[in-house]
Amino acid sequence: MSNRTGRNLRVVSTSDQPFNDRVEAGNLLARELEQSRGKSPVILGVPRGGVVVAREVADVLAGDLDIVLSRKLGTPGHPELAMGSLAEDGTVFLNEDVVSSLGVRDAVQRERDHQMTEIRRRSDLIRRTIPKIALKGRIVVVVDDGAATGATMQAALWAARHEDPQRLIAAVPVASDHALQRLSQVADEVVCLRKPALFYAVGQAYREFSQVEDNDVLRLLRGSRERQHSREGGHGGDDGG
C-alpha cells in the first residue's frame, strides 16, 4: 500500500526487504509509474546501475530510454554536497546558496573541467550510436538504482529541468529520507519503493548488486532503441527525437 509522505513525494513501503536484483526493482518501480504509460515518456537512467533499472521501466511503460550524462559538481571539502551540475552540452547550473555560503566560487571552473572530461568520455562512447533524446514538452522520468544522499540525482534533475519537460519525475527503488527530501525540492513528483528505517548504502537493498560496466550500458541502450523502432514501425509511433 502506498504511503504518501508529502505533496509530491510517494513512498510505497518502509520495508528493508532486499530486491533480488536491479531488474526486479525496475519492474516493481514501473508498476508505480503506470500513469505515464501510453504518454510517450522519456526514461533517463543514471549511469551505470540506474540504466539497468531504467531499461525495465522503459519497457513496461513503452517509453524511450536514454542515459543521463550530466554530472554533479562536488563541493570542495564536501564531496556529497552538490554546488551545481554540469549538463551534457557543458551548461553549468549553480546552487547559489551553497556556492555563496561556503565561498567556493573559485572552485567551480576547476570542478567543471574535471567533470566535463568524464562527460566527454561517456559521450564519445554512447552518442556515436545513441543520439540524445530531446526532453522539451515530454514527461521525463529520471531513474537510478537508489539514492543515498541524492546529490547525483539532484544534479541530473537540474539538467533535465533546463530542457523544459512537461513533467519531471524522480523514481528510485530505495532511498534515504534525506535524499528523498532533497529530490522533492527539484522534481514535480518523487516515487520511491522502499525507505528502510536503517539506511547505510544502496547495495543493502539488493541480493545481487554486481558492477555495471560502460559496455553493459551501451548494450541496454542499443537494445531499447531497437525495440522502440520496432514499435514505431508497427504502430506508426511518434519519434521522440
Task: Note whether residue 184 is domain-resident.
Answer: yes
Task: Note whether residue 80 is domain-resident.
Answer: no
Where in the sequence is the domain holding 194, given as residue range(s)? Answer: 3-73+131-235
Task: List pLDDT tens digits, range 63-83.
Answer: 999 999 888 898 999 877 889
Q: Which pLDDT score, from 0 to 100, does residue 57 have?
A: 98
Q: Which pLDDT score, from 0 to 100, does residue 2 have?
A: 40
Task: Note whether residue 141 is domain-resident.
Answer: yes
Mean pLDDT over 156-166 rounds to 93
Tell me the chain's radius of gyration from C-alpha atoms: 17
Give the percent of the chain with pLDDT over 70.
Answer: 93
pLDDT bracket for residue 116 (50, 70, 90): very high
Q: Does the pLDDT of residue 239 top 80, yes or no?
A: no
Q: Does the pLDDT of residue 51 top 70, yes or no?
A: yes
Q: Which pLDDT score, from 0 to 100, does residue 6 have?
A: 57
- Read off the CATH number of the domain in which 204 is found: 3.40.50.2020
What's the chain's average pLDDT? Answer: 89
Mean pLDDT over 106-113 rounds to 94
Residue 231 vs residue 170, higher pLDDT: 170
Q: What is the number of structural domains in the chain?
A: 1
Task: List pLDDT tens digits, range 86-108.
Answer: 888 888 888 888 899 999 999 99
- Lowest mean per-residue pLDDT among 19-23, 24-28, 41-45, 154-158: 154-158
Pick from 67, 23, 41: nearest CA to 189: 41
Mean pLDDT over 231-235 rounds to 62
pLDDT bracket for residue 151 (50, 70, 90): confident
Dist. CA 28–CA 192, nearest whole Å: 10
Task: Note whether residue 86 is domain-resident.
Answer: no
Mean pLDDT over 162-171 rounds to 96
Give the percent of the chain with pLDDT over 90.
Answer: 67
Task: Note whether residue 182 is domain-resident.
Answer: yes
Dist. CA 60–CA 224, nearest whole Å: 11
- Return phi, psi of residue 10, to 5°: -125, 115
- pTM above 0.95? no
Dist. CA 118–CA 163, nearest whole Å: 21
Q: Which pLDDT score, from 0 to 100, does residue 234 have?
A: 55
Task: Note whether residue 213 is domain-resident.
Answer: yes
Task: Note whether residue 109 is domain-resident.
Answer: no
Q: Please provide the DSSP assignment of 52-76 as one string.
A: HHHHHHHHHHT-EEEE---EEEEET
Task: Note whether residue 188 is domain-resident.
Answer: yes
Start-to-end CA span in the chain (Å)? 37
Mean pLDDT over 194-211 rounds to 94
Mean pLDDT over 144-164 rounds to 91
Spacing of C-alpha 73 from chain mean position: 16
